[in-house]
Amino acid sequence: MKPKIAKIVVGLPVEGPFDYQIGTDLQDRIAVGQRVRVSFNRRDRLGFVVGTAQRSLFKRLNPILSLLDNGPALDEPTFELARAISAHYGCSLGEAIETCLPPVLRRDKVSISSALLSTAAKGTAVEGNKMVLVHDQTRHKRWPFIIENIQKVIDQKKSAIVLIPEIAFIDETVLILRKTLTCPIAVLDKKLAPKKELAQWEEMRKGEYSIVVGVRSAVFAPLPNLGLIIVDEEENEAYKQEQTPHYRASEIAEMRSKIEQCRVLFASSVFTAEIWEKAKRNKWEKVIFDAEENGQVQIVDMSNYNPGKTSILSFPLQNAMQKTLEKGGKVLLFMNRRGFSTRTYCQQCGFTVKCKRCNVNLSYLFSEKTMICRYCNFKRELPKVCPQCNGSYLRSTGIGVEKLESDVARIYPGAQIRRYDSGNKVFIQNADIIIATGAVFREHKQWAVSLVALLNFDDQMHHYDFRCGQKAFSLLIHLKQLANEKLFIQTRMGGNYCLKAVQTMDFSKFYREELKLRKELNLPPYRNLVALGLRGKKENIVFEQCSDLFERLKKKNPKGIDISDPHPDAKPKLRDQYRYTILLKGRSVKSILALIKSALKEFKKRNIVITVNVDP
């Protein structure tokens, strides 16, 4: 029998599906997975058919306005993946489907042809362990092993996805692959015109590419007969999606592995504690490439040192730099603070120059003679007088890379000094002293310097983030990889477990300590965290709504779920939006999400946006 009712979802945070009437002219053409245009909440919207039926519980139904394509946009594995994303990340099925599709297909301006589609079949069972950790302590030994595994997949007439954290790494990654592999490679590295984006997507579905290389969203590439997914630099924060649904690319790779029976290689120098523990618990295969015996680590105790009176460079570091320069070596100084100063204030009334949109201190960029917000890039000129009391003198404090450059030039007047931060397009290696922020890690080419110094390790540990220890250890390892001779670490926390582990390159010791702390505090991977975020333009309304929702959650009296009091987010104001958070902690994501959905059904929100972030 021809279907009369279509079950349709839309890309909004609303539970579905919704019943729509199928016109007689569409009954022979409609299919599950197809994109349609429907009237939803009195507006024309893009929808997705997720099922059909002969009858509906509702008497009066809106009709489907039109079919956008001649065939389905979703094949069966993608449909199953969307359902898994919806269940795990607490988003609607419509939002999950849109996440799996390229941006061009989230709009109703283009059409796809069924003649160009091929249904991706589920793969055959994978021999051996499907999940593999490639622990490359050197950063560069992993690629021959990765290429070997890709070649095996291609020989089996299957396809592979290579995920890298940032666009800056794409050209080099493609170059490495093309030196050995001759198969066609699709590169997802920039925004394309709608027609070109659609054409590339259709070519991937037809199997015209054996390999797809791209950043986070490339994990959804519609390759038929998928055999392998590579997640390079697995610990990189760029793999976490900032918008709803807040997915993590490594978790999506695991989901696709279960659905399409493909293998996943997680490659990194420092894995996340969650992946490390999961690999140990599930006995995943582990491939280790040890680091060469080079680069010592020296801890400099700054407890009795006052940088404000002399220099942020300790005397041991200054002596080591002098010796390195005399031998013709190069020095890299790492400080992850852009600009000249980090705070500008009035000494008379205490007024601090802040971003009006984000309520954070503006950093002063001496090179541009402007002040900038590190979150929204808002810019303004440095005030000549205090905006509050018209005081004639504003003082700037704090040290950024520009001020550090000035300090280093004073101590080493004969040295050639270059600064590298996010504002630089080209990395300069022919300097005696390089002053760099985190942007230096975007340079994936094999280069190193004699001496590397982390000027303030303690900054890395002073974040409202339970993963700060893991991130600090990752930073130390990556800096050590750049040091041919020595890594200097200036700190007042000499007994920290991260420092002890990096001195001996004992990764097992670090993970033992890190996971021990996580277990004591009931944090991931031993408990699941879900952040329920509320944001809006009026702080009092956001707080009232957050408090109301908190009370509704508590009244449910959930067993085994801890609920924190409403509190300002780590970024309490961002882009004119005040942000409050409720944290829920428990053993099961499923039970936490069920509690949240139950509370939200009775909750009437006003002038706010609510987001659900699983394991933030």
| Secondary structure percentages of the chain, helix, strand, coil, to 5 | 30, 25, 40
The Cα–Cα gap between 129 and 217 comes to 25
Residue-wise pLDDT for 406-417, tens only, equals 999 999 999 999
- The mean pLDDT of 233-239, rounded to a whole number, is 96
* Cβ contacts of 377 within 8 Å, gap of 6 or more: none
| Residue 295 pLDDT exceeds 80 | no
The Cα–Cα gap between 31 and 72 comes to 6
Name the phi and psi angles at 5, rounded to 5: -120, 135
Name the phi and psi angles at 323, rounded to 5: -65, -40
Cβ density class 399-428: b for 16+ within 10 Å, e for less:
bbbbbbbebbeeebeebebbbbbeeeeeee
Cβ density class 145-167: b for 16+ within 10 Å, e for less:
bbbebbeebbeeebbbbbbbbee
Q: What is the pTM of this model?
A: 0.92
Percent of the chain predicted with pLDDT > 70: 95
Residue-wise pLDDT for 519-553, tens only, equals 999 999 999 999 999 999 999 999 999 999 999 99
The Cα–Cα gap between 589 and 562 comes to 12
The Cα–Cα gap between 4 and 553 comes to 40
- The mean pLDDT of 70-95, rounded to a whole number, is 95
Alpha-carbon torsion angle 297, 301, 305, 307, nearest 10: 40
| Residue 119 pLDDT exceeds 50 | no
Mean pLDDT score of the chain: 91
- The mean pLDDT of 572-587, rounded to a whole number, is 95
Find the range with the poorest average confidence among 303-312, 316-325, 385-394: 303-312
- The mean pLDDT of 343-354, rounded to a whole number, is 90
* Cβ contacts of 563 within 8 Å, gap of 6 or more: 550, 553, 554, 582, 583, 584, 585
pLDDT tier at 123 (50, 70, 90 boundaries)? Answer: very low
Residue-wise pLDDT for 131-186, tens only, equals 999 999 987 899 999 999 999 999 999 999 999 999 988 999 999 999 999 999 99
pLDDT tier at 120 (50, 70, 90 boundaries)? Answer: very low
Residue-wise pLDDT for 252-284, tens only, equals 999 999 999 999 999 999 999 999 999 999 999
| Residue 448 pLDDT exceeds 80 | no
| All domains of the chain in start order, with CATH | 5-110 (3.40.1440.60), 131-289 (3.40.50.300), 296-337+399-519 (3.40.50.300), 528-614 (3.30.70.600)
